[in-house]
Structure 1
Amino acid sequence: MTKTAIVTGGAGGMGLATAKILGSDHRVVITDVNRQRLDAAAAELRDHGVDAAAVACDITSRASVEALFQQADREGSVRAVVHTAGISPQMGTADKIIRINALGTVNITEAALAVATEGFALVNLASIAGHMTPRLVIPKRIFRLALTDRDRFTAKLAAGASRAPKGMRPGLAYSLSKNFVIWYSQQIAAPFGAKGARVLSVSPGSFDTAMGRLEEKSGSGKLTGYAALKRYGRPEEIAELLAFCAGDKPGYLTGVDILCDGGTKAGLDLRGMIAMARGD
């Protein structure tokens, strides 16, 4: 039976780069909310010899996510999911960021768990921002609601981010949402493991994608100054890691987060984190 890999956010950036790699031995289903960009990406994949299909999906809608998985499964068993879809602070309000980044991850993860079998792998995209979130502001009690009541979880997490000063709300929502992705991917590892399946997260630093460049003035550019490799990462570099994690070879790798940031966190001391938070 044909192996299928789903790549969310597959219309560009990290998602499209990952789909090109996975397409060497998988049928690939890419998804995005923008139909025009999605069709163009699918055509590009086919030009590279990839058996690719495009399915529009709103990851904040559980029904839309379930329809995606059903369609992906029709022509081959879904063996891997790489979930790169998400938005950054410049792309929406705190509520929108929480819904897409946090609730969207819950929807994708629950749908993936429902179809997971032996050898299945889910890779969720987190961020270095999740590693920079101060422990005192991480609402673990709210995070736990994602395991039992996702509507209440979403509302409370968005409300928490909205208590910050107006200009800081999107950034806080982004950091909280990505810290949640790291936490959630660890918490859900046991149910995946019971099926012989794996789940983990990958946290990129500053990468040369449309989203990364959009955040250049608000932080992603400054972060490269603290990195060991003082440049933006290339989409193809993170794609190699994402595709590897979703593949068959790292069969004992689960329940962890992998930070791929060019050595940024290693060079970012407390003074630097305070300066970043202030926007200095």
Structure 2
Amino acid sequence: MLSLRGRVALVVGGSGGIGAGVVRRFARAGAAVVVHFRRGEARARELVAGIEEAGGEAVALSADLSREEQCHRLVEAAYDWKGRLDALVNSAGIQPVQDLAEMTAADWRRLSEANVTSAFSCTQAAATLMARQEGGGTITQIASIEGSRPAAGHAHYSASKAALIMFARSAALEYGPRGIRVNSVSPGLVDRPGLAEEWPEGVARWQGAAPLGRLGRPEDIGDACVFLASDAASWITGTDLVVDGGVGAGPAW
């Protein structure tokens, strides 16, 4: 594992499936981790307790990401915890399935607010603080392979993830001179409890299409985020790191 000892990371959406994997990997790499939650308080507290039992440092903070002032307050509280903020991972988001023909403008706006606007607000707040400290910082947006490969029923989700990829590149361009690196990670299908039972045909199709023959694990995404936050990626910014078991390498026909 790469070392992030002495650094502080905020994982927005840290109580979620992928977010929890990111939290665990940052803690394993030695970072002090701020675990954000909105509804998953019990899960966030469980993660913090596990990290502390293993000798690490973590704290759970709540915020409603639909409110800009709470996004800023969350980032400021994470900074105040240790007097610095070295890494931000924006992992919060929603993924409803809706046919495009039946989607309303309110549905579109709701998903965009959850997946894109919250990341914008947290990124802006974090960059302001990172620019003041020695060493700058890193920001990683959790996008998706659906940002470039759409799926039926996911028009609004795919568009939001494409927006995150371009937002990361734009932020990298503008914040680079301030010592801040910004990238995105695009996961493929990541396993969760009950997925194989709920969607057996989809899981089977994925396993058949993936050269590595398996679904992703939340920790696979966490490893990518740790790499991008580490000194091993010190000359990497504005890129999208695809973590999909090789599905994207397969033929399209």
| TM-score, with length taken from structure 1 | 0.76
Deviates more, 1:181-190 or 1:241-250: 241-250
Residues 49 and 17 from structure 1, CA distance in 2 versus in 1: closer, same or farther, beyond 3 angstroms?
farther
The aligned residue for residue 19 of structure 2 is 15
Whether the 8 Å contact between 2:24 and 2:219 is mirrored in structure 1 is no
* CA-to-aligned-CA distance 1:141-194 (integer Å, 9 cap, x gap): xxxxxxxxxxxxxxxxxxxxxxxxxx93xx101000001011110111122101
Whether the 8 Å contact between 1:131 and 1:179 is mirrored in structure 2 is yes
Q: What is the aligned counterpart of 2:189 among 191, 206, 215?
A: 206
Stretches of structure 1 lacking an aligned partner (at least 5 in a row): 135-166, 272-280
Q: Tell me the CA shift for residue 110 of structure 1.
A: 1.1
Is 1:80 matched with 2:97?
no
Q: Secondary structure at the match of 1:10?
A: coil
Read off the aligned partner of 1:107 and give its amino acid letter.
Answer: S
The aligned residue for residue 54 of structure 1 is 60
The aligned residue for residue 115 of structure 1 is 129
Stretches of structure 2 lacking an aligned partner (at least 5 in a row): 1-5
Is 1:100 matched with 2:100?
no
Is 1:69 matched with 2:75?
yes
The aligned residue for residue 29 of structure 1 is 34
Residues 241-280 of structure 1: pairs in structure 2 closer than 5 A:
241-269=224-252, 271=253
Q: What is the aligned counterpart of 2:221 among 216, 226, 238?
A: 238
CA distance in 2, matches of 1:59, 1:225: 37
Residues 214 and 56 from structure 1, CA distance in 2 versus in 1: closer, same or farther, beyond 3 angstroms?
farther
Q: Tell me the CA shift for residue 111 of structure 1.
A: 1.4
Residues 89 and 13 from structure 1, CA distance in 2 versus in 1: closer, same or farther, beyond 3 angstroms?
same
CA distance in 1, matches of 2:111, 2:201: 16
Is 1:6 matched with 2:15?
no
**Seq. identity, %:** 30
| TM-score, with length taken from structure 2 | 0.83
Q: Tell me the CA shift for residue 262 of structure 1.
A: 0.8
Q: Tell me the CA shift for residue 95 of structure 1.
A: 3.3
Q: Secondary structure at the match of 2:126?
A: helix
Q: Secondary structure at the match of 1:7?
A: strand
Q: Tell me the CA shift for residue 214 of structure 1.
A: 9.3
Residues 25 and 99 from structure 1, CA distance in 2 versus in 1: closer, same or farther, beyond 3 angstroms?
same
Residues 204 and 211 from structure 1, CA distance in 2 versus in 1: closer, same or farther, beyond 3 angstroms?
farther
The aligned residue for residue 148 of structure 1 is none
CA distance in 2, matches of 1:177, 1:211: 26
CA distance in 2, matches of 1:195, 1:229: 39
